[in-house]
Structure 1
Amino acid sequence: MKRRTVLQLAAAGVLPGLSHAAAQPPLKELRLDYAYYSPTSLVLRRFGWLEEAFKADGTSIKWVLSAGSNRALEYLNANSIDIGSSAGLAALLARANGNPIRAPYIFSRPEWTALVVRKDSTIRSVADLKGKKVAATKGTDPYLFLLRALKTAGLKRGDIEHVSLQHADGRAALEQGKVDAWAGLDPHMAASELEAGSRLIYRNVAFNTYGFLNVREDFLASRPAEVGKVIQAYERARAWTSANPAAAAKILAEEARVSLPVALLQVKLRSDFSNPQPSSEHVKALLVAAPILVDEALVKPGADLNRAITGLVDTRFAIPYITNLKKA
């Protein structure tokens, strides 16, 4: 499928796989994640708005902490949760490799990752990373950000020594001198900056893919009303977060156990909550980013990334739920 066709399908909302479900008995349990990289999820969980929305149905809400996109996507693939939050490019990688997910909602447009070194490091640029140890969590935006950043300096994955660590462990390894650099993730990255003096040597907001709220494809098809309720609750949390960034930062600080200045840096300066509707904008971002998945052999041979993108980005499902909330 050509790029133009992909964009036309996305703009028109003509995407495969969306079906209308027959009436079903109330859901007994809804399972979804919350994550420190998604302040909106923390707000939603703190105020119990999802529990409130499902109370009449007798549906219990099970919250599961995701330490990174890789964990959220693993939980979805294993049917341990129904709805999970991840970076857009990480979701595309998972979808292309067989994880049956769709993304009907965007929880944020963040600048949540960058390349980080210690305050006393002699490393000043991406080119200086050649031959160095770099920590990054596989299957996440920071890891894919690292690969794309290396390419800007004419480097490849084999030109560095990649150390696979979960985000919090990556920060610790950097500050303890066990690695030379780290592809960071907020709030850990902001904490390392403010508390350890770590420096960001490469930033590129265009390489930070959006925050995707992913739903197991079978769950979206069989339980569209429930997914709609989740989106409405997320919209309530998003609107509140946008109107009360300092209060949202306080919740993040308490949940992630970081200082308030760290949380404020993440919520107020590095997060954009203004556009929750998946659209051709998000399709374009993935089309631009997708080649790195092929170049680094991260997807199965012969994987059709254009098809994976149209299957992932659901541009029509959330429209009535977002529109209805704005009218209310």
Structure 2
Amino acid sequence: MAITVVAAVILASTVVQTTAKEKELSVTYVKAPLNIPSILQKRLKLVEKAFPGFVVSHPELTAGPKQTAGLASGSVDVANCLGGTSAILAYANGVDLKVVGIFARSPKAFTVLAKDKDIASISDLKGKKIAGPKGTILHQLLVAALKREELSVNDVQFLGMGLADGVTAMMNGSVDACLAAGPAVLRSTEQGARIITTGEGLVDATTVIAVRGELLRDDPDLVRRFMKVDEESVTLLDSDRTRAIDITAEETGLSIDDVKTMLPLYDFDSTIRPSDVEELKRTQDFLFDNGMLPHKIDIEKMVKTI
């Protein structure tokens, strides 16, 4: 009898622990440069309202590798606003993730900047020093822009550097040009820098919504419910733009005018279009051709429309 009671207690404890785990939902929070849907989801508690009874957390993991590490460990369920480069690299290295939606497309928000008055086009960058974050959408933009002018990264001096450090180096003359996105572009142009090119026609600057593969297999309805939350946040942006802009300005520290200036650069429709899949394939080619991807993956298997 005692053994039976002990076994029952252990079983009950296991059920409680499993139930508690199933009632947790971790959605990463990346607010910069202008991730309005994510901002609205957190500030207005849209996820919490859609998942009553769940303990919802919003870990601020802004770096792509940290988001994918969270997916791999199970500490993150949804990577909201994950760079396409990070998703592909993680998947190729065995992380069980699925891309279930597009967070944003923002080609015009990604730029190559220069302050030197003698640099007016990408072709003028030949032999020049260019700073920017390696293995990112911005790096991909630079490669594509050079290729359009029949140049390659071997024709310039590309210095791997964080976005903020790269902008500072360009402004103080340590490098000739830099890669920049978001508010950094506004601040730099206000101080005399010029946009040499944006990503328009070169890269779609796609960020994605990714989930743990196990979560999608075990509970696809939960993932669908989250995607409805994303749709709701985009609808709120469209239906009450003034409120959304005010909340975004408060959350990011940007001025309302800055938010209004940057907003038209972003397409937050989460629908996965055929063009999005093709863009992810181009991103994979960029990573592989530049020695950052160990082997190519099947992009269609990484992407899951639900």
TM-score (norm 2): 0.81
Q: Choose the corresponding residue for 1:171, options 167, 173, 176.
A: 167
Distance 1:191 1:52 in 2: 37
C-alpha deviations, 1:255-276, integer Å up to 9, x for none? 2222222222221x20123x32
Shift of 1:80: 4.2
Query: In the alignment, what sits opposite 1:129?
Result: 125
Q: Which residue of 1 aligns with 2:286?
A: 292
Which stretches in structure 2 are left out of the alignment for 5+ residues?
Answer: 1-17
Q: Hey, what does 1:34 align to over in structure 2?
A: 29
SS at match of 1:64: coil
Q: Identity percentage over the alignment?
A: 27
Question: Does the alignment pair 1:48 with 2:45?
Answer: yes
Distance in 2 between residues matched to 1:70 and 1:147, nearest whole Å: 22
- Change in Cα spacing, 1:42 to 1:225, as seen in structure 2 (3 Å) is same
In terms of Rg, which structure is larger? 2
Amino acid at match of 2:304: D
Q: Does the residue aligned with 2:159 lie in a helix, a strand or coil?
A: strand
Match of 2:273 in 1: 279
| Shift in alpha-carbon separation, 1:68–1:244, aligned structure 2, 3 A | farther
Give unpaired runs (5+ residues) of structure 1.
Answer: 1-23, 318-328
Contact 2:113 2:178 in 1 (8 A): yes
What displacement does 1:78 show?
Answer: 5.1
Provide the residue aligned with 1:15 in structure 2.
Answer: none
Cα distance in 1 for residues equivalent to 2:237 and 2:55: 24
**2:177 aligns to what?**
181
Write the deviation string for residues 197-252 of structure 1: whole angstroms up to 9, x where unpaired.
Answer: 32110123241232211112223223323322221111110111123334333333
Query: Is 1:147 matched up with 2:139?
Result: no
In the alignment, which of 306, 310, 313 is matched to residue 300 of structure 2? 310
- For 1:130, give the aligned amino acid: K
C-alpha deviation, 1:90, in angstroms: 4.2
Q: Which residue matches 1:113?
A: 110
| Structure 2 residue 62 is the aligned partner of structure 1 residue 62 | no
Distance change in 2, residues 1:205/1:99 (3 Å): farther
- 1:45 Cα deviation (Å)? 0.8
| Alpha-carbon distance between aligned partners in 1 of 2:164 and 2:40, rounded to the nearest angstrom | 22
AA paired with 1:279? R
Question: Is contact 2:245-2:256 (8 Å) kept?
Answer: yes
Q: Is the 8 A contact 2:91 2:302 kept in 1?
A: yes
Does the CA-based 8 Å contact 1:33-1:66 persist in structure 2?
A: yes
One-letter amino acid of the structure 1 residue matched with residue 92 of structure 2: A
2:40, 2:46 within 8 Å by CA — same for their partners in 1? no
